[in-house]
């Protein structure tokens, strides 16, 4: 029954990408099958210093400090860190180090679990990149809207003024001047139409 439970635990750890370890008072670290695979280790046990370097390559002394703090009453410490493997690939881990149960105090002084959160971190980084791109797009849209509103107001204002002038000329009976202004008004309208077509083409360009 115990062997069956161990087998089920090992399978569960593999599915969850979760490994565990125990820190021995003799300076050795016992690894679960899954953590052994995650670290690409050939053995299920490592020397404390070797394990410290494997888990915290940038600060190997950190493991000893954390293990000491959980023994002195902290009970549990959680941290995220990155490890580099033999094949030069990297893993993002979330590791929890805890004080051992009273029944194991004689052999071990701390134990821990490490969860492979590489996929989560990759998704998080992708989401951050998407958000950054979205911010840039929104900034571009703001600038685009400002330029468009400015460029459209110019011919629109000219059309408004010309229409007003034509109205005044017609009141005064100056049909020739009114006709001349209507010709300019038509030109401004065509210019505005081309401007709108250009804006639509630009917006579709991505």
Integer Cα distance of 99 and 81 in angstroms: 20
Contact 24, 108 (CB under 8 A): yes
% of the chain beyond a pLDDT of 70: 98
What does the pLDDT read at residue 206?
Answer: 64
Average pLDDT over residues 108-118: 91
Model pTM above 0.75: no
Single out the residue of 107, 87, 108 nearest to residue 99, CA to CA: 108
Helix (H) or strand (E) holding 195: helix 175-204
Integer Cα distance of 187 and 184 in angstroms: 5
Is 73's pLDDT higher than 90? no
Integer Cα distance of 166 and 4 in angstroms: 96
Contact 69, 60 (CB under 8 A): no
Q: What is the mean pLDDT of the chain?
A: 87
Integer Cα distance of 148 and 75 in angstroms: 62
Structure tokens at 87: 């094949």
Average pLDDT over residues 109-136: 92
Average pLDDT over residues 71-98: 88
Residue carrying the six token digits 């400015």: 150
Integer Cα distance of 37 and 96 in angstroms: 18
Is 7's pLDDT higher than 80? no
In sequence order, what DSSP letters do the residues of 16-46 get, joined into one string?
A: HTEEEEEEETTSEEEE-HHHHHHTT-SSSEE
Is 51's pLDDT higher than 90? yes
Question: 140 falls in which pLDDT band (50, 70, 90)?
Answer: confident
For residue range 151-192, list pLDDT tens digits in order. 888 888 888 898 999 998 898 888 888 888 899 889 888 888
Is 96's pLDDT higher than 80? yes
Classify residue 118 as left (phi > 0), alpha (psi -120 to 50) or beta. Answer: alpha
What does the pLDDT read at residue 103?
Answer: 65
């Amino acid at each position: 029954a115990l062997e069956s439970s161990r087998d089920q635990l090992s399978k569960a750890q593999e599915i969850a990408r979760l490994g565990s370890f125990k820190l021995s008072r003799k300076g050795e670290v016992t690894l679960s099958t899954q953590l052994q695979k995650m670290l690409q280790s050939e053995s299920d046990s490592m020397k404390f210093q070797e394990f410290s370097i494997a888990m915290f390559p940038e600060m190997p002394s950190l493991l000893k400090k954390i293990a000491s703090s959980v023994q002195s009453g902290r009970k549990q410490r959680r941290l995220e860190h990155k490890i580099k493997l033999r094949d030069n690939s990297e893993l993002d881990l979330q590791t929890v180090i805890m004080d051992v149960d009273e029944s194991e105090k004689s052999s071990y002084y701390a134990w821990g679990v490490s969860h492979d959160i590489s996929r989560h971190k990759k998704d998080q980084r992708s989401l951050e990149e998407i958000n950054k791109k979205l911010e840039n797009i929104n900034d571009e849209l703001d600038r685009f809207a400002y330029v468009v509103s400015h460029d459209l107001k110019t011919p629109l204002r000219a059309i408004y003024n010309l229409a007003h002038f034509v109205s005044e000329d017609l009141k005064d009976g100056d049909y020739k001047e009114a006709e001349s202004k209507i010709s300019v008004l038509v030109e401004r309208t065509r210019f505005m139409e081309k401007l709108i077509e250009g804006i639509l083409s630009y917006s579709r360009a991505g």
